[in-house]
Copies of this chain bind each other. A is one copy, B any other.
Amino acid sequence: MRTKNLLYAQSGGVTPVINATACGLIETARQNSDRLGKVYAGKDGIIGILNEELIDTSKERQADIAALRHTPGGAFGSCRFKLKGIDESRAQYARLIEVFRAHNIGYFFYNGGGDSADTAYKVSQIGDKLGFPVQCIGVPKTIDNDLPITDVCPGFGSVAKYVAVSIMEASLDVESMASSSTKVFVLEVMGRHAGWIAAAGGLAQRRRGDPPHIILFPELLLDEKVLLKKVADTVKAHGFCSMVVSEGVRNRQGRFLSDSGRRDAFGHAQLGGVAPVIASMITDALGYKSHWAVADYLQRSARHVAAKTDVEQAYAMGKAAIQLALQGKSGVMPVVVRTADRPYRWKVGEVDLAKVANREKKMPRRFISKDGFGITAAARRYLEPLIRGEEYPPYDHDGLPKYVHLKNRLVAKKLAPFEF
């Protein structure tokens, strides 16, 4: 029997370790070349599949595939494109099956968050109906850590480590200067709807009183007066105040602080930026000199300070996806199962995509301290193992990481263009 080819696609915002998942998947597939065909990858994610732009990863050298383990970004490209329900987007699902058939695809791996799990689930259902059964495996990824069931989403641990290390370092800086200069520092991090990433900043607080002194979560509405009192109290007690704020912080009316309607010198509406709003608010009200940073994509691509645990889990998810495929599974996703906290132990599990699709894991309220400005011991117990260990990328002689750029050769097209 002719072996079927595999099709892999990266979906949504990339992470420092999504390529480690690709690495695990491709390496494991190559080890099973007696049973599996080539691994193709959608160029720029599912859009590339609809456009029949398939990258032939068999053209890549083994060393380059291995280098994916330590390369951030999305090596084959990704996109934010959600397939709608089957009834609304039937033509798109049919097109996917058409592409699968044309390129002898027997396995579809969709590496993303909740939306992607949903898409993979739907494809797994419709494949049968359209007469081309394909095994669909979801592969978890998202820095937002909002997938249910899995203990953690690969990508989150490294972002968490970046945030914790960065706020620890910046706080040492502020502390040095606070007696005569900057007293308040605000670091803005991602996580519009869930405070997982902001919470990770709290790991830098090894002892009571350590920075960061204040964390602002998207889960709680911000009372400006309460915040200002907390800042003033903190500066009085410690001489400075170090903060981690989520981009999704909202005021008491439930409005995002970043939608503050501020305009710059040119009259342009200012994009994003909760940190400058908070910093200005504090400086205006309390007179403290403040500084702020917005990490933005830096946090999401900082492979140079990735967590070893995260890299290993990301790789394991890719490997497990192939193993599930070899077991004949479809409509499933490998997950991280925590078996012990101390010492931290985990294993690979699996879950039905139907249980993951479109379900968001919220941060539990018990992870946020009573006053709303910090994390609890329970949060720490959950988060701390996830940032453990260092796995540095190799560096070149020029002092920069050896990140790989793949050749990304496309497979010859066989179909007419698709009209979106």
* A contact set with B: CB distance below 8 Å: 10, 13-14, 16, 44-45, 47, 71-75, 77-81, 161, 164-166, 168-177, 179-181, 185, 187, 203-204, 206, 257-258, 262, 264-266, 268-273, 275-277, 279-281, 283-284, 289-298, 300-305, 307, 309, 384, 387-390, 392, 395, 397-401, 403
What residue in chain B is nearest A73 (Cβ atoms)?
B172
Shortest Cβ gap from A53 to chain B (Å):
10
Q: Which residue on chain B has the smallest CB distance to residue A309?
A: B399
List the B residue with the shortest CB-CB distance to A174.
B297
Question: A73-B169, A293-B296, A302-B166 known; A179 and B280 CB under 8 Å?
Answer: no
In the complex, the 4 A-B pairs of residues with the closest C-beta atoms, listed nearest first: A73-B172, A74-B176, A268-B280, A293-B296
Question: Contact: A47 with B177, CB < 8 Å?
Answer: no
In whole angstroms, what is the CA distance A266 to B280 when docked?
9
Q: Contacts A14-B173, A179-B47, A300-B173 hold; do A280 and B269 have CB atoms under 8 A apart?
A: yes
**Residues of chain B lying within 8 A (CB to CB) of residue A271:** 276, 279-280, 283, 290, 292
Contact across chains for A175 and B399 when beta carbons are under 8 A apart? no
Using CB atoms, name the residue of chain B closest to A210: B405
| With known contacts A168-B400, A268-B280, A176–B298 Cβ distance under 8 A | no
Q: Does A265 contact B273, Cβ atoms closer than 8 Å?
A: no
- A241 CB to nearest chain B CB (Å): 13
**A291 to B204 CA separation, bound complex (whole angstroms):** 27
A302 to B166 alpha-carbon distance, docked (Å): 7
CA distance A166 to B14 in the complex (A): 15
Q: A173-B300, A176-B10 are in contact. Are A165 and B293 (CB under 8 A)?
A: no
In the docked arrangement, what's the CA distance between A303 and B277, Å?
28
A135 CB to closest chain B CB (Å) equals 26
| Shortest distance between the CB of A11 and any CB in chain B (Å) | 11
A166–B295 CA distance with the chains assembled, in angstroms: 10
Closest Cβ of chain B: how far from A9's Cβ, in Å? 12
- Decide: B177 and A400 in contact? CB cutoff 8 A: no
Instruction: Kindly state the separation between the CA atoms of A293 and B388 in the bound complex, as whole angstroms.
Output: 26
Q: Of B264, B275, B384, which one neighbours A258 at CB under 8 angstroms?
A: B264
